[in-house]
Amino acid sequence: MSERTTPLRIRTFVGSGVVMFVVAVVLVAATLAWNARKVALADSEAQGTRFVAGAEAALNRSLLAVDVLLASTDELLGLSTAMADWIDPEVASQRLRSSARQNLMVRYVAVLDGTGKAIASSDAAGSGLQVQLPLGFLAAVMEQPVSTLMISAPVISFASSERVLYVARYLRMADSSLVVAVAELPVAALSSVLVQGVDINGLQVTLERAGGQLLLSVPNREEAIAPTLTPQLGDLTETGQNWDAPARLTGEPGLVVYRPILYQDLRIAASIPRVAALAGWRDQRNAIALTGALFVAMILAAGGLALRYLSSLSQARMAIAQSKATLDQALESMVSGFMLLDREYRVVQWNSQFEQIYPWLKDVVAPMVPFRRVMEETSRHHLPRGTHDERMRWVEQRLLKQKQHEAAHEQTLPSGRTIQIIERPTPDGGLVITYHDVTALRQASAEIESLAFYDPLTNLPNRRLLMDRMQQAVAASVRSGQYGALLFLDLDHFKTLNDTLGHEVGDMLLRQVAQRLKTCVRREDTVARLGGDEFVVMLHELSVNSDEAAAYARRVGEKILRKLNVPYSLGGNTHHSTPSIGATLMGGALQPTVDLLKQADIAMYQVKSQGRNALCFFDPQMQIAISARAQLEGDLQQALTGRQFVLHYQPQFHLDGRIVGAEALIRWDHPERGLIAPGAFISVAEESELIVPMGHWVLRTACEQLAAWENDARYRHVQLSVNVSARQFRQRDFVARVVEVLRETGARPHLLKLELTESLVLDNVDDTVAKMGMLKTKGVRFSVDDFGTGYSSLAYLTRLPLDQLKIDQSFVHNLGVRHTDDVIVQTIIGMARNLELDVIAEGVETQAQKDFLAEYGCQLFQGYLMGRPTPVAALEALLDNAVPVQG
């Protein structure tokens, strides 16, 4: 306690001394500055008083000299004994010039009569001098009861453009008439008399009347009319000497000293602004403040150095005392275990975290205990059933790692915890050992690896891990010559299960499929899930012979088929699911893993196209077909943008030979391959969704043709049938687009017939009925194409707003050949007649077929027998030569 108190007292004493010295310096500096201010004001006051006294004497002398000059004019010209007419202007002017030369302040002297006209003057103009006295000044001079010197207000001289004062007194002639002797004095001359060369900072000198009228000032004020200064000098008796009076010219607070002069109640005043009087004092004040600040800074610096020295001295003392406690606290706060060994590898220090990690060592660890003893006790817990020799070998291996100072190594405790051990040598040859519990870190790393490389639903390898294993398998196959195989699985109709029973049930199925797949392969094989319902099985090193490898892969694939065909139990429900499996061989040469996966995928889709639930090996011809299909899709896209499609029209005939309509059929006018029939590209267009813009183009082109025939009586009755694909019809804006096309082209809706396939109509009956109903209100007609090939169409015929049924050509071709087809055709025609629907037969190629149809009651025909699909020009020519329409 005393060690802490003593430095504190010393610091308090030093701090108090510093404060006292600083206060003393500040007080001395303030006193010096205040005294200097007083001296500065006193000096300025003395200067002002002396100046006013001197200026008064100088001005009195100057004005007295002018007064004598004017008064002597009577004697000089003999005015008191003469009459005005007796005076010779030339002689009088000459005498005035001689007299005026003796006074340098006077510009000229003139004698004026009562009207202000010059009788004589010292000016070169003589009696012709025009004297412009201030208004009323001449009368004021002559009204004086006794002739006295009067001074006018300052005016601008017309002759010299200077500010001047006029000084005058009147003189009495022999006949008692009055004349006025006047002298013109430049203000600048009087100002120089007032200032007398005195240099007082900020000095303002004024000559003013008792009422405050300003006659002249230094510095000079240029007002045209002499201003009246306020307050009057008589009111400044008390404030003038206290530096609180307003300066006469600027109004600033300052000293005002004034004295009256001999003439006409005039006063001369000297003003010194307080700011100007203290200008020199400010420099002194700043110098005193700077000096004081330097002294204060020196005192503070000296005090700070002293306190710093004392503080460092105190801290050094405390640091020695606290170092051990700080080290102990730091060791105890570590989240890791810690142990310090000396150069003999004996225990020096450890923390409580070490004891928590190795609780069985609490009774063993002590200062100076050899580290070997600690390891021997540890070995008992790591090898509880080990022999003495086995434990000693474990201890030797542990101590060997310690001597090598290798990188961090890990130790797994019997409890399952993982401890990372880091050993670093100390400068004195000892050792610092830290023990980090990295159990959570290793668990997190394992979880991250699982998320990165395994499917979370089935716990199977994902695509990333599969591709990595495939690369290794291909490289190993090239080295060993062993073939492997890749099986690509896709569950049939899995989307239907998800949509009907929900994704949870679908996930249950996927987990069961994963379990069954693992039972079908060896331990070294890989079962992976790519996503969704797609699985991949990779079989390693089947055989050096490709045929044997393929046979083994087929057996595994068939085993998988049998396993996956067994019904599943999904939440109490029994579900049957089948897979489609594509297979390809790996090996023989380096192959990109992506290509292998693509080959198996192609083979799987081949199974899909052939009916599902089977196994198919990849055939290079499949790849060629798929590449060609992709090329065809790109060409179709270009054909759409390049306007390469054209419409051909196949006429539709009545039994009496009239052409009543035509079916619009798309053709591809390929720039290299020529005219291509739709069978070569329609399926690709449907799969790639290009069928939607293509169908819209066909619809618009057909409507434009109807609009073109509108004004031609030969063709305006012709109806055009347009096929509508399922994708096009299921578009949300299908009805709006049809109505828009009719409106933009101007085609009559009742001449447009949309042909829908039976499967399209039955796919979503409610949606179909709604769309057909809306278009029916616009006048559009509908026909069911390929009627009779479906399974349930008869049940919905009464709900659909149809106009026509088209008998499929498969029934037409077998008329007279297969009795069942005759019955079907008769049934269709009879049903249509009962429902008041038209019936047209397509694919009529022989006269016998036409005769059979006519016999059964069919009256509309379409086929090669009557006409093939032709361009519009050929159709128009055929219409021109056909049986005319009956009115």
Q: 566: pLDDT confidence band, cut at 50, 70 and 90?
A: very high
pLDDT, tens digit (0-9, with 9 covering 90-100), for 254-300: 888 888 888 768 888 888 898 888 888 888 888 888 988 898 888 88
pLDDT of residue 803: 92
Say which CATH architecture domain 631-881 belongs to.
Alpha-Beta Barrel (3.20)
pLDDT of residue 167: 93
Protein fold of 454-618: Alpha-Beta Plaits (3.30.70)
Residue with tokens 């396939």: 757
Q: Decide if 461 contacts 375 (C-beta within 8 A).
A: no
Higher per-residue pLDDT: 547 or 370:
370
3 state SS of 582: strand
pLDDT of residue 444: 64
Distance CA 372, CA 711 (A): 113
Higher per-residue pLDDT: 321 or 783:
783
Q: 696: pLDDT confidence band, cut at 50, 70 and 90?
A: very high
Residue 81's φ and ψ, nearest 5 degrees, are -115, 15
Strand segments, DSSP code E, in 84-223 are 108-112, 118-121, 150-151, 155-156, 163-172, 178-186, 204-209, 214-218
Q: Does domain 14-303 have CATH number 3.30.450.20?
A: yes
695 pLDDT more than 60:
yes
Residue with tokens 């670093």: 424
Supply the DSSP symbol for 461. Answer: B
pLDDT of residue 332: 60
Q: 336-443 in CATH: which number?
A: 3.30.450.20
Residue with tokens 């430095």: 7
3 state SS of 320: helix
Do domains 14-303 and 454-618 share one topology? The answer is no
Burial group, residue 620, by CB count within 10 angstroms (0-12, 13-18, 19+): exposed
pLDDT, tens digit (0-9, with 9 covering 90-100), for 299-312: 888 888 888 887 77
- Please give the share of the chain, as a percent, with pLDDT higher than 90: 23
3 state SS of 820: helix
Q: 641-644: which pairs have CB atoms within 8 A and are 24 or more residues apart?
A: 644/668, 644/669, 644/670, 644/671
pLDDT, tens digit (0-9, with 9 covering 90-100), for 147-199: 889 998 888 887 778 888 999 999 988 888 899 999 999 988 888 877 776 77
450 pLDDT more than 60:
no
User: String of b and e for 231-240 (b: at least 16 CB within 10 Å)?
Assistant: eebeebeeeb
Per-residue DSSP letters for 651-701? EEEETTS-EEEEEEEEEEEETTTEEE-GGGTHHHHHHHTTHHHHHHHHHHH
689 pLDDT more than 90:
no
Query: What's the rounded mean pLDDT across residues 773-786?
Result: 91
Distance CA 298, CA 180 (A): 78
2 pLDDT more than 60:
no
Distance CA 527, CA 539 (A): 9
Distance CA 254, CA 274 (A): 4
pLDDT, tens digit (0-9, with 9 covering 90-100), for 368-409: 888 888 777 777 877 778 788 888 888 787 777 767 665 677
Residue 259: count of CB within 10 angstroms of its CB: 17
Distance CA 130, CA 755 (A): 126
Distance CA 411, CA 418 (A): 6
- CA dihedral (608, 612, 618, 623) in degrees, to 10, reads -10
pLDDT of residue 642: 86
Lowest model confidence (mean pLDDT) among 89-98, 299-308, 773-782, 783-792: 783-792
Q: 863: pLDDT confidence band, cut at 50, 70 and 90?
A: very high
Burial group, residue 289, by CB count within 10 angstroms (0-12, 13-18, 19+): middle
Burial group, residue 490, by CB count within 10 angstroms (0-12, 13-18, 19+): buried
Distance CA 732, CA 722 (A): 19
**Where do the structural domains in the chain lie, given as residue ranges?**
14-303, 336-443, 454-618, 631-881
Q: 440: pLDDT confidence band, cut at 50, 70 and 90?
A: confident
pLDDT, tens digit (0-9, with 9 covering 90-100), for 20-79: 888 888 898 889 888 988 888 888 888 888 888 888 888 888 888 888 888 889 888 888
Distance CA 351, CA 628 (A): 75
Six token digits for residue 556:
């595994």
Q: Decide if 815 contacts 843 (C-beta within 8 A).
A: no
Q: Decide if 451 contacts 522 (C-beta within 8 A).
A: no
Question: Strand 752-757 to strand 781-787: parallel, antiparallel, or no bridges (unpaired)?
Answer: parallel
Q: How far is CA 394 from CA 188, 262, 379, in A?
A: 120, 130, 7
Q: How far out from the chain centre does Cα 605 lie?
A: 48
Mean pLDDT of the chain: 84
Residues whose CB falls within 8 Å of the CB of residue 569, separated by 6 or more in sequence, listed in order:
575
pLDDT of residue 510: 93
436 pLDDT more than 60:
yes
Strand segments, DSSP code E, in 330-417 are 337-341, 347-350, 409-412
326 pLDDT more than 70:
no
Supply the DSSP symbol for 85. Answer: G
